[in-house]
Amino acid sequence: MKANYVFMFGTPFAATAAFGLVVFFGVTSPDPIELNLWGLVLKGPAGPLLMWVVVFLSLVLAIRVIRRDDRDA
């Protein structure tokens, strides 16, 4: 547990933070979340789902980069 402490607590935190961010944007925007990516239009639940995945993966990548820098020092 001590060797992977950052990942054991960081990954659930990243999932919760991503969920909170998507819910925040869903509540504060007057229209449903829609994503337009290079001709691919995502409406309905696909927009928030893809947004959650992107935010979650970016947070996990940030945790991994920080952990790698921490381990080297």
The answer for residues whose C-beta is within 8 angstroms of residue 48's C-beta and 6 or more apart is 22, 26, 33
**CA nearest to 3, candidates 70, 58, 57:** 70
**CA nearest to 50, candidates 34, 62, 39, 61:** 34
DSSP codes, 1-37: --TTHHHHHHHHHHHHHHHHHHHHHHHHSSS---EEE
Domain ranges of the chain: 1-6+43-73
What's the pLDDT score for residue 57?
92
Residues 16-69: tens digit of each pLDDT: 999 998 888 878 877 777 778 788 887 878 778 888 888 999 998 888 888 766
Reported pTM: 0.74
